[in-house]
Structure 1
Amino acid sequence: MPSVKKLTDMGWTTADALWYYTPLSEPTLSSELERLSFAQTIKDTDVVSFQPCPDPEQYSQDRYVIQDWALPNGIWTFRAIFDGAHSGMLDYHRNINLFQPQGHAGHDTVDYTKDRLPDIVQKELLKMLGKGDGYTPADVSDALTRAISEFDKSIGEALLKLFPDADALAKLSDEEIHRVISSQRVNQDIILHCERGTTVLISLVSPVKSDIWVASLGDCAAVLGTTDSAGEWSATVLSSAHNGENEVEANRIRSEHPGEPECMLDNRVLGAIAVTRAVGDFSFKLPAVYTERVLFNARPDSVMPDKVRKYIGRNLTPPYMTGVPDVKHLNLSALGSEKTVMVMCSDGLVDLSDDRLKLHEVLSKAWVKLVGEHYGDGQNLALRLLRDALGGEDSEKVSRMITVEMGFRWMDDTTILVQRL
């Protein structure tokens, strides 16, 4: 007998709207969540990548990479998540086009990064190993930093090769600018890679799993779970939160732009974007003329929203965003842990929790506790984390989250990797 649909306000009591959803019972609920989240296990890593909105134009802008590299000194494991749509952008969910010119909306940069950056990291490692005199943890950290920051820099340099002189650019007509952009497909791609952006979260594990490095750029999260001699699990956060809610990041930007009170506004860079570090998003890295005349003006029929015009006007002394990551290292051998897991996720998992601002104090411990409870029982641990975040054993809530009939996103893209080390 088919389920009877119900109505929900999704907890948005101010929305003055109701939507239908379909209550699901077991085992249909679990199998549907597994299908929608593309749950699978690749090598030693459980994976889900979830965006339930059925509109094909709203499919997930998260990407992930799972690779093992046979390098001269053994097998290195590379795991990465790239999030092409920042949290906080969902404030504009009723009109997606409003925030696309502000960066991080669109698949171009995240796809380009997923396809190119892993090889660049591997080449930096090979270069380091090729020196033949051994390496230190700092050498690997430097290689990760160099690979990511130079990759980001190359995206902006490609645009500057098309329009090297900001003063001359300001004097070009729209037709002249469009002629340069449209002359070759590669030029159009260059513009899109600069206009849009992505976060980066990379974990790199050395041969025999002796050391781990985590490079973070943006607001994805990485948590290492380990056990002590009594078998008790503990959690260590290895990522950094690069967003305006992090006072360290916000104050860093303020200190770099004295006399500009609107360089951070409403916990956003220039009042426009949540993250403070990312690949791409050159509206926040280049002079305003590049955004106004090239990035936004690349589409001849575009009309600039007031929100975009305001943040361009605040761009006085760029860059306001950086492509330099934080890199952290841990010696896994020294921990003496019998069981070790790495939980990596896009910020969608964080945003599903009421404790989204308490990654260190609450969320990391809860994730590791849940993973530890199901470690070794054959479950997909990433799927277990996703199910818990969507409502756990509350089948009504989980059903609502995966079947509600909305024409726009009601939750952020959510990707989770759980690697058994």
Structure 2
Amino acid sequence: MIVERASYNWAYSEDIPGSRCGPEDGPWPRPYQVLDEDEIWRELRILARPLSSNVGTQGRYRAHSVNFQPSPSTKTQDRYVVTQLNVGGRLWSFTGVFDGHLGDVTVEHVAHHLPIIVRDFLAEGEKSIQDGAYNPQYISDLFTKAIIAFDDAIAHDVLDLFGGSVDKLDDYTDSQIRDTINDQHLPGRPNHTKTRLCMYGTTALVALVDPDHKDLWIANLGDCQAIMVTPKNNGKDWDIEVLTTSHNGDNDAELERVRKSHPNEPECVVDRRVLGALAPTRCFGDIPFKQPPAFTRRILYNLHPGFHNTSPWEEFLKRNKTPPYITAEPQIIHRRIDDTHAAASACPVTGISVSVPAVKNLLWSKTSIIPHPEAPQPPLPRFLILASDGFADLCESDGEGPQRIIESWARSMVMRHPPESVTDQPAWSEKDNMALRLLRRAIGGEDRLKVSKVLTLDMDSAWIDDTSIVVQTI
């Protein structure tokens, strides 16, 4: 038997999609390993860790997710959440992606606790939302209040250790502050953990669907994207709608909002960054941009282990005159879901909902769903894509662009792997994961060389941005 050895080739910087994010960016070209199809899917499974979940009433809808970083030595700072919130015995679906920066402490905290906070706020308003008799604006307001209150607690949990405000810090010596916050020797190290949350930040994009699947709310902080993908002309065409606005230095309206909040401060935005340092204009955490400089200098500088070099922090702290400069007030988008799927049963493969009368007239083939000529067409699914900015970077690097990438992906998903009969539960594999297939499409699709370059580039640090994707049927 002949054993094939790994095939290697050379890649140039312009061959790699997405944004360069590591300090090591040369020399080029660099070698990469050419993978066959089975090897590609194996690497994607290892690097992106695809998951599949049922969401919605009776698990009728599916949500698939990935968190991708091709550099095996780099810990991703992205997180995602797919869960259901039990509010008064009824289940709300909650999905989200979070893109951390500077570290993964705050993003881990937010991804874990935000669903709990939102659930608690919904539970407090349960009398106003029971049996689906609620005003959508009321839920939007609850969503906003939950997010702002959660973010406020990050700084105030620490300030409460020192009298409740930055002004009270003058009553404490540096030694007293160090003794208070550096309690790593104690079980749970509560003060140290609280303080570390203030050093880092994360964007957030979360989607909430009510138990009756009538309404969708999206809350956005930062530059992740929510994209609604709706079929037209029986799936021949697709409407691709970006629902969110990016809150970062690329958005002139956001920069103008920051400037208007800080008149006579020309350095509140420098080089399209807040205080010349931070790209996002809305996010969780990042307390040095939300509190006076004394918070950073008196508290964070005394945290161990903390800042080895405070010079970069001083560069923007000297511009910090009238905080806050960034906000946790989210953009809220509400959409009424035209739920034509409500009286249908979900096809277990792709989340396609098929009415019971139509099921009896369907003939299933290996490659397509062929309805009886007299049978009504089964409704095609809508997809909601939640993705961190790494996905957008990958799409922008492709000559086809995000519109064509998502369209071709959507067409392939609704035609892929129908069951042998309407009663069989098919076996799912990672290749059927909607988010994983979208990721593969973004990094090169069927072009094995393009995909291999992204997956196996010989570099010691991360060569593209972390990418998290959640795809759910709506």
- Same-fold status (TM-score > 0.5): yes
- Give the alignment of 1:370-385 within 5 angstroms: 370-378=409-417, 379-385=432-438
1:166 offset after TM fit, Å? 3.2
Matches within 5 A, 1:22-421: 22-43=33-54, 44-55=62-73, 58-72=74-88, 74-84=90-100, 104-131=101-128, 134-163=133-162, 164-167=164-167, 169=169, 173-183=173-183, 185-228=189-232, 230-231=234-235, 232-299=237-304, 302-333=307-338, 338-354=380-396, 363=402, 366-378=405-417, 379-421=432-474
Change (3 A) 1:310 1:377: same
Corresponding residue SS for 1:416: strand
Q: Find the aligned partners of 2:434 and 2:269 in 1 and give their Cα distance.
A: 38
8 Å CA contact 2:86–2:119 kept in 1: the answer is no
Post-superposition Cα deviations, 1:135-165, rounded to whole Å, max 9, x if no partner, equal: 1110111111111110001111112112345
**1:420 Cα deviation from its structure 2 partner:** 1.1
* Secondary structure, aligned partner of 1:391: coil
Provide the secondary structure at the position in 1 that maps to 2:34: coil
| 3-state SS of paired residue (1:195) | coil
Contact 2:234 2:380 in 1 (8 A): no
Q: Give the letter for the 1:120 counterpart.
A: I
How far did 1:321 drift? 0.7
Offset, 1:300: 6.2
Contact residue 375 and residue 381 of structure 1 kept, 8 A: no
Amino acid at match of 1:114: A
In the other structure, the counterpart of 1:101 is none
Letter in 2 for 1:221: Q
Query: Does the 8 A contact of 2:395 with 2:401 survive in 1?
Result: no
The structure-2 alpha-carbon separation of the partners of 1:122 and 1:302, relative to structure 1 and needing over 3 Å to count, comes to closer
- Alpha-carbon distance in structure 2 between the residues aligned to 1:376 and 1:127: 43
Report the more deviating stretch, 398-407 or 136-145. 398-407
Per-residue deviation, residues 91-135 of structure 1 (Å, max 9, x unmatched): xxxxxxxxxxxxx22221111112211011112122222236731
2:11 equivalent in structure 1: 8
The alpha-carbon deviation at position 229 of structure 1 amounts to 5.8
Pick closer, same or farther for the CA change 1:419–1:334 going to 2, 3 Å.
Answer: closer
Tell me the amino acid that sits aligned with residue 351 of structure 1. D
- Pairwise CA distance, 1:334: 7.4
In structure 1, what is the Cα distance between the partners aligned to 2:445 and 2:468?
A: 17
TM-score when normalising by structure 2 = 0.77
CA distance in 2, matches of 1:201, 1:160: 27
1:258 to partner: Cα distance? 0.9
User: Retained in 2: the 8 A contact 1:128–1:139?
Assistant: no
| Cα distance per residue 1:279-307 (max 9 Å; x no partner) | 11101100012112322441367432533
Give the 3-state SS of the residue equivalent to 1:209 in structure 2.
coil
**One-letter identity of the residue aligned with 1:352:** L
Asked if structure 1 preserves the Cα contact closer than 8 Å seen for 2:78 and 2:99, the reply is yes
Cα RMSD (Å): 2.6
Does structure 1 conserve the Cα–Cα contact (< 8 Å) formed by 2:106 and 2:285? yes
Matched residue of 1:415: which SS? Answer: strand
CA contact (8 A) 1:51 1:60 kept: yes
Give the total of aligned pairs. 396
In structure 2, relative to structure 1, the CA distance for the partners of 1:20 and 1:71 (3 Å cut) is: same
- State the Cα distance separating 1:30 from its structure 2 match: 2.4
Deviations 1:42-74 (A, max 9, x none): 11112111111121xx21111111112344484
**Higher Rg:** 2
Tell me if structure 2 keeps the 8 A contact 1:224–1:340: yes
List, as ranges, runs of 4+ consecutive aligned residues in structure 1 with deviation greater than 4 Å. 170-173, 334-338
What SS does the corresponding residue of 1:187 show, helix, strand or coil? helix
Superposed CA offset, 1:283-339 (max 9, x none): 110001211232244136743253322111111110001011111001112799752
List runs of 5+ in structure 1 lacking aligned partners: 85-103
Distance 1:308 1:19, change over 3 A: farther
Higher helix share: 1
CA distance in 2, matches of 1:5, 1:305: 43
CA contact (8 A) 1:218 1:242 kept: yes
Provide the C-alpha distance between the structure 2 equivalents of 1:77 and 1:297, rounded to a whole number of angstroms. Answer: 41
Mapped partners of 1:27, 1:214: distance in 2: 37
Residue identity in the other structure for 2:76: S
Corresponding residue of 1:95? none
